[in-house]
Amino acid sequence: MKNNPAQYLNPDIIQQVARLDLKAKFIVEGFIAGLHRSPFHGFSTEFSEHRKYNLGDEIKAIDWGVYAKTDKYYIRRYQAETNLECYLIVDMSESMGYRYQETSVTKLEYATYLAAAMGYLMIKQQDPVGLITFDTRIRDYMGCRSKRDHLISILSALSRNKPGGQTDFEQAIIHASGLIRHRGLVVVFSDLLDDPARVIRGINNLRFRGHEVIVFHILDAAEVDFPFKGMTIFEDVESDAQVQVDPDIVREGYQEQVNALIETYRSECRNADVDYVQITTSTPFDKALLEFLMRRERRC
């Protein structure tokens, strides 16, 4: 009889894992159902087993069933060709715990739901998936496996972690890259609120080691739109530094700096051949998953 990782958890954690498992399944199943109704129908639930036809590919490899539905040429790939090790790297630092409105989710909750859904999706495709979480250091490391029990272990790690600690993106990512033994796909979830030069060096380290990289830059909508009114005290959650300002006076300058930061990350990632996705916690999960699917398809 196989051991179930959940049996070693206390009841509260088991309940958290069950909720996260259900949430991941709900997101993925709804997403897949949406694909069948969308222009991306050709990807379907077996998207990882197809790739676009390229000049020189054998005609007999074309999947004519997909062609009939999409009017586009795809060829079916064998299992050995499609298996891809994927590591989900999640930022657990204190700033990831921010949310502007009580009705929304924190950045960490959003990253957790999205990472869980991607893990569910990868294992559904029989692709091995692993997990690394960090703040100034590595909190969790779980190697790649493609079994259902392994997904439960990943969900357990995601469920029990709380935001805390400062961010040292560069050192954490360099340490993480040293733990990943084989070249594969690395998906990073972070608000990237660190020195941009250090962030880029960390990302470049992953590319230097031969990994394909997708970065999900997750921000709260308030961090982008700056909707605050009246004299407001702003506190850096990672250093406790405070400043009191009139948002109407600083809004334009603040938004210019945020937009410049986003453009810096987008440009540097493009130069490093890294896929960069900037999203807010108000972004529907199916849209975020579609971004992942499209970028993974481009990487395959």
pLDDT in tens, 29-61: 776 666 544 433 333 334 445 667 676 667 767
Helices (H) and strands (E) in the chain, counts: 10, 10
Select the more confidently predicted residue: 19 or 187: 187
| Residue 286: pLDDT band with limits 50, 70, 90 | confident
pLDDT digits (tens, 9 = 90+) for 174-230: 999 999 988 899 999 999 999 999 999 999 999 999 999 999 999 999 999 999 998
| Residue 1: pLDDT band with limits 50, 70, 90 | very low
Provide the pLDDT for residue 14: 54
C-alpha span between 160 and 19 (Å, rounded): 12
Provide the pLDDT for residue 40: 38
pLDDT digits (tens, 9 = 90+) for 112-121: 999 999 898 8
Mean of the pLDDT values across residues 4-29? 62
Mean of the pLDDT values across residues 138-160? 91
220 and 98 in contact (C-beta within 8 Å)?
yes
Provide the pLDDT for residue 172: 95
Mean pLDDT of the chain: 82
Provide the pLDDT for residue 2: 44
Using CA atoms, how far residue 74 sits from 46, 124, 166, 276, in Å, is 12, 21, 46, 26
Mean of the pLDDT values across residues 276-292? 89
CB atoms within 10 A of CB 55: 4
Provide the pLDDT for residue 297: 67
| Residue 83: pLDDT band with limits 50, 70, 90 | low
Mean of the pLDDT values across residues 72-81? 60
Mean of the pLDDT values across residues 164-183? 92
Helix then strand then coil, in percent of the chain rounded to 5, is: 50, 20, 30
Which of 44-48, 62-66, 180-184, 251-255 bottoms out in mean pLDDT, i.e. has the lowest?
44-48
Instruction: Output the six-digit token pair for 285.
Output: 């999960």
Please check the confidence at residue 293 and state whether its pLDDT lies above 80: no
Domains of the chain: residue spans and CATH: 41-79 (no CATH), 83-299 (3.40.50.410)
Radius of gyration of the chain (CA): 20
Please check the confidence at residue 96 and state whether its pLDDT lies above 50: yes
Select the more confidently predicted residue: 296 or 85: 85
Provide the pLDDT for residue 47: 42
CB atoms within 10 A of CB 140: 18
List of residues 6+ apart from 38 with CB closer than 8 A: none
